Structure 1
Amino acid sequence: MNSSASPTPASPASPSTAGDPRLERVLFVHAHPDDETITTGGTIAALVEAGAAVTVVTCTRGELGEVIPDDLAVLRDDQAALAVHREGEIAAAMHDLGVDDHRFLGSPGARTPGLPERAYRDSGMVWRSDGVAGPTPDLHPAAFCAAEFGEVVSDLSAVVQSVRPTAIISYDEDGGYHHPDHVRANRVAVRAARLVGVPFFAIVAGAESAEGAEAEALATDVTVLTMDARHVAPRKLAALRDHRSQVEVVDLPGGRAGIRFPHGAVEPVTVRESFRFVPEPTADGGASEMAQMTTGGRVAALVLALAAGAVFGTIGTVMHQSTITVAGSPVWSGLVLALLMSLTLLAGLRSVFGSRAMAGAAAVGLLGALVVLWQASPGGSILVPDNTPALVWLGGVFLICLVVLGWPRLRGPVAGGATPPGGSTRASSVEAQPADDRLDALPDAKGTPQT
């Protein structure tokens, strides 16, 4: 279960509409079946009704969800059967909300081309003493949170490539209530949005029940969009009832409908759903690729960067004395090439990972190789003679390391990057620049060691 979502237009995303610049195309990214209806069902139905193209991606099948009704008790100890059952529930919910384009991440249409299909499993959660969700101690190897980050981003990017959304919607940074799958869905959706400069919107949890100063702040925030979905409330209620294994629709005082969750909490069904535009970070303070990795992944990546630096340092040291003759004069071509190789390695790592850690590890390997190779060999000779090219090689590498590691930011904003919506604080749709010209630049993240 969950509590986040995003806004913008909706409707089936078929090949005939995916590339139509006249239509709004909104991609919703959710963690488990039922999340899409609880937090964004009204927005989805309203967008579809308005003629927008809506695609819903569900990252897992919710195998670890708690089953409420006793007539479905047989599913409580059968994760595989529950997964199949919840597939049926979300199919019915999509029908009631009017969505024709629903995909499970890792399945056809939501999988990196060339890779075999896979199912990302529910990662599970435990309730902490402070009342919020936390990770389970026994994470399944096939769990969504155990998958390589780059692979997951690449799968979602396959959806972006086919749908070409004008906006992507998912959870905020804490996933609404810290469920690990929700947090991971946020990271993946944000990364996919940043790759092509598509605006990203985060669900504002509890916006409808906000009071006092909090409600006033939301009302005056120009980056917050609120969808009034009262006219499609019957559609949302029907979709909620489709998810009967996970939630129960109940009557509340005053004629309102509520949702009872497996742990007993009851919340009113929201008919106004709010979303906040999340701008792209403009400094290195934003989350980097390194931040998405597990501890083991970070260690492995740093070791590889260190080794790469050592290899480049060795090759550069061996070749930096090489020359070619141009118009009868020697040109230190080996020195120039060696320096360019070193700059490309460090700047590339800094830019791709958005972190100084990887470039720093490569710099250590690079300088370490120079120091080692500078020493006399067992036979008494040296690889680096005491001449001008050698001094330029050593000083140049040191200068490159200082500049690349000290530069404030190497990864600039994506061309045609995402911009916030206009000044209105209330809207039924989000205008955004089509990403058609940028989608072809999506990297193939097969095997990228990120988690």
Structure 2
Amino acid sequence: MTYFGTPGGDGPDSPAPRVERVLVVHAHPDDETITTGGTIATLVDAGAGVTIVTCTRGELGEVIPDDLAALRGDEAALAVHREGEIAGALRELGVRDHRFLGEAGARTAGLETRAYRDSGMVWRADGVAGPTDDLHPAAFCAAEFGEIVSDLSAVVESVRPTVIVSYDDDGGYHHPDHVRANRAAVRAARLAGVPYFAIVAGADEATGAEAAALRDDESVVTMDVRPVAPRVVAALRRYRTQLEVVDLPGGAAGIRYPHGRVDRLASSESFRFVPDPDELPPRPASTSELSDMSVGGRIGTYLLAVAAGAVFGAIGTVAHQGTSSVAGAVLPTGLVVSMAMAAALLVGFRQVFRSRTIVAAVAVGLLGVTALLSQPGAGGSALVPANLAGYLWTFGPVLVAMVVLAWPFLDRGADVQRGRDKMDALPEAKGTPQT
């Protein structure tokens, strides 16, 4: 049975379905049980291969019970203690493959092992988590992003997962380590060509239209985790430093956090398939970036285009007569540079906004300022004299603008070589999401 896709064949003549292999990436010990514990246990029971990667040891986590007060303020001791907590929790869930990022099995070949330190967080005034002001040099968020992705890619190469699961783009509640884990997991998934599923925070509490939207969303996979609830509760009880399991009315279990909030244990866990932008259908050629803007945004963009054209026109008008001497030959370097600038500006706006009208606005600014500055001054002098360079600068940008306006849109679709770094032999990783 597969939950996140179809990594094997579909018909009677297809190869036998391969075992689903799920790589779950989390930031700290206890995150895996709180947000995905039921799914992990369900997958294990179904015979799937499950690998958990934890990015830090949660050295900056709070310590709730007084009998463990000695761990408060002792980051090294708390790190060791939390290693024991997650080991016990994963035993309850049935996981046999757990790796700390940077350690053996989750480190780039040839590099010495390292520990990524908890980056910490602060609660902002709006109730959202944010970064601290004193980030430790060894913190997860201070590490080179490429190093993190490389270490995670080493796990992907070892495990050959059929799916990677981690946070959504805001990390669930904006904790810096969660957000960084999302970025790294998405990048590793894209490099390997493995489907990526993001945890849908709060899905179990959704009601009304929100719940209906989740049910109707074909990209969302929802797990009924009630059958494994006792094991999830047992796993949660292992995290005595971080949380407390409490009994709620009606026989339900809840989780009390250090700041006092109590959440009911989820009866389901949901995950949304996040498609690779490079594999989405290309945007129709007639579609412009301007179509996504408000009226005010469009007006501002047109004004910016005119202003940019005017600036480039002024620079080109002043500089187009410049020359340089090479081996006795006089070269019109000013004209060449001015024409190149004008062409780059027009083509750039065309490609970015995919709109002929925006190019026309650039041309208005460029040609208007050029024409204005071409007029003789009070003393009879002119910035654009009647010589070859002057004529070329007067009419050259006009011709360039006409060509850019008439030329078809340059396709950014499937025919462009994207140069993405893919892993070999992962055809089974192209599963499609199922509900």
Structures share fold, TM-score greater than 0.5: yes
Aligned ranges 1:95-244 → 2 under 5 Å: 95-244=91-240
TM-score by length of 1: 0.64
Write the letter of the residue equivalent to 1:81. A
Aligned to 1:36: 32
How many Å separate the matches in 1 of 2:179 and 2:282?
21
CA offset digits 1:20-75 (Å, max 9, x no partner): 97211000000000000000001001101110000000000001001111111111
Aligned to 1:420: 432
Aligned ranges 1:379-398 → 2 under 5 Å: 380=328
How many Å separate the matches in 2 of 1:71 and 1:375?
81
Change (3 A) 1:382 1:53: farther
Change (3 A) 1:245 1:382: farther
Correspondence 1:280 to 2:276: yes
**Do 1:280 and 1:418's aligned partners in 2 also have CA atoms closer than 8 Å?**
no
Write the letter of the residue equivalent to 2:32. E
**Do 1:279 and 1:418's aligned partners in 2 also have CA atoms closer than 8 Å?**
no
Deviation at 1:232, TM superposition (A): 1.1
Correspondence 1:61 to 2:9: no
**Do 2:221 and 2:270's aligned partners in 1 also have CA atoms closer than 8 Å?**
yes
CA RMSD of aligned residues (A): 3.4
**Do 1:8 and 1:43's aligned partners in 2 also have CA atoms closer than 8 Å?**
no
Q: 2:203 aligns to what SS in structure 1? A: coil
How many Å separate the matches in 2 of 1:95 and 1:101?
10
Q: Which has the higher contact order (CA 8 A, sep 6+)?
A: 1
Deviation at 1:248, TM superposition (A): 0.5
Correspondence 1:263 to 2:295: no
Aligned ranges 1:224-373 → 2 under 5 Å: 224-281=220-277, 282=280
Deviation at 1:265, TM superposition (A): 0.4
How many Å separate the matches in 2 of 1:284 and 1:176?
30
Change (3 A) 1:214 1:90: same
Aligned to 1:355: none
How many Å separate the matches in 2 of 1:37 and 1:117?
26
Q: 1:173 aligns to what SS in structure 2? A: coil
Deviation at 1:221, TM superposition (A): 0.9
Change (3 A) 1:161 1:260: same
How many Å separate the matches in 2 of 1:405 and 1:418?
31
Deviation at 1:271, TM superposition (A): 2.6
Q: 2:89 aligns to what SS in structure 1? A: helix
How many Å separate the matches in 1 of 2:269 and 2:419?
29
Change (3 A) 1:45 1:413: farther
Runs of 4 or more above 4 Å deviation: 377-385, 401-408, 410-419
Worse-superposed segment, 252-261 or 403-412: 403-412
How many Å separate the matches in 1 of 2:116 and 2:417?
30
Aligned to 2:395: none
How many Å separate the matches in 2 of 1:123 and 1:408?
42
Determine which structure has more spread, i.e. the larger CA radius of gyration.
Answer: 2
Q: 1:208 aligns to what SS in structure 2? A: helix
Q: 1:172 aligns to what SS in structure 2? A: coil
TM-score by length of 2: 0.66
Aligned to 2:78: 82
Number of residue equivalences: 318
Deviation at 1:190, TM superposition (A): 0.5
Q: 1:159 aligns to what SS in structure 2? A: helix
